[in-house]
């Protein structure tokens, strides 16, 4: 079981890209030369999913052995990147805890944020380490009873999160989160035979972090 990243974002009105408020990730299990691209993909996918998670909604985007979980509380959104073995309820109890802690520490100051923050938030780094064991998150779950009756929307691929007419490859081209090298890697991997593994589900378009991970393992 593995948590790769936890992020907190401010969702913007009128379709603008969400702002990164806090970011903790562990990419040590990737090859050294892939880590920079993986970090970029994490940020890109986080913005993509957060932007499409309505207030009050919890949803999970799944592909192969990986899930991206998101929870939007009145415009404050928390994202978690976990492998498929991490229990869903435990994942969302952790997201609940993260968003509670963020609001307790920063109150409403996030509403005035206008740009991504690069300041470390020690709690998030500690949570990334502590809750690698879902048993720790289960302790939170016992307290957060409301999750028992919460509907969690599960998407089989990231494409199913996108609005009608949106294409992931088009978002990749427009993204400022991905360097030219990462975009080149995406296009190169797309041509690789590995892309056939997702072609039947996502028309060959679902090729970012969700399947970038097993490609490098």
On the question of pLDDT at 77 being above 80, the answer is yes
- The model's pLDDT over 17-36, given as tens digits with 9 standing for 90+, comes to 999 999 999 999 888 888 88
- The model's pLDDT over 97-130, given as tens digits with 9 standing for 90+, comes to 999 999 999 999 999 999 999 999 999 999 999 9
- The pLDDT of residue 37: 87
Strand order in the sheet with 58-63: 19-25, 3-10, 76-83, 66-73, 58-63, 152-155
* Contact between 17 and 47 (Cβ < 8 Å): yes
User: What tokens were used for 200?
Assistant: 């039947």
* Residue 97 Cα distances to 147, 158, 164, angstroms: 12, 25, 33
* Contact between 67 and 82 (Cβ < 8 Å): yes
User: What tokens were used for 61?
Assistant: 């985007």
Most confident of 40-44, 180-184, 198-202: 40-44
User: In the CATH hierarchy, which fold is given to the domain comprising 3-159?
Assistant: Beta-Lactamase (3.30.450)
> CA 78 to CA 178: how far, in whole Å?
21
Please identify which residue in the block is written with the tokens 């929307």: 153
209's enclosing H/E stretch is helix 209-216
pLDDT bin (cut points 50, 70, 90) of residue 79 is very high
69's enclosing H/E stretch is strand 66-73
DSSP type of residue 163: P
Pairing of strands 152-155, 58-63: parallel
Backbone angles phi, psi at 176, to 5 degrees: -90, -5
Pairing of strands 152-155, 76-83: unpaired
């Amino acid at each position: 079981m593995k948590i790769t990243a936890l992020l907190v974002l401010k969702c913007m009105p009128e379709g603008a890209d969400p702002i990164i408020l806090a970011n903790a990730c562990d990419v040590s299990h990737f090859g050294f030369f892939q880590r920079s691209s993986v970090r970029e993909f994490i940020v890109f996918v986080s913005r993509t999913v957060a932007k499409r998670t309505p207030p009050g909604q919890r949803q999970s985007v799944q592909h192969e052995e990986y899930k991206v979980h998101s929870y939007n509380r009145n415009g404050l959104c928390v994202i978690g990147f976990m492998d498929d073995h991490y229990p869903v309820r435990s994942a969302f109890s952790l997201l609940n805890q993260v968003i509670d802690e963020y609001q307790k520490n920063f109150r409403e100051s996030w509403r005035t944020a206008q740009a991504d923050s690069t300041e470390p938030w020690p709690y998030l780094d500690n949570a990334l380490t502590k809750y690698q064991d879902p048993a720790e998150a289960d302790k939170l779950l016992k307290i957060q009873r409301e999750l028992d009756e919460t509907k969690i929307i599960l998407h089989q691929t990231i494409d199913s999160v996108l609005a009608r007419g949106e294409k992931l490859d088009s978002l990749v081209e427009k993204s400022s989160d991905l360097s030219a090298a990462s975009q080149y890697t995406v296009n190169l991997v797309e041509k690789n035979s590995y892309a056939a593994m997702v072609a039947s589900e996502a028309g060959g378009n679902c090729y970012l972090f969700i399947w970038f991970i097993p490609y490098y393992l």
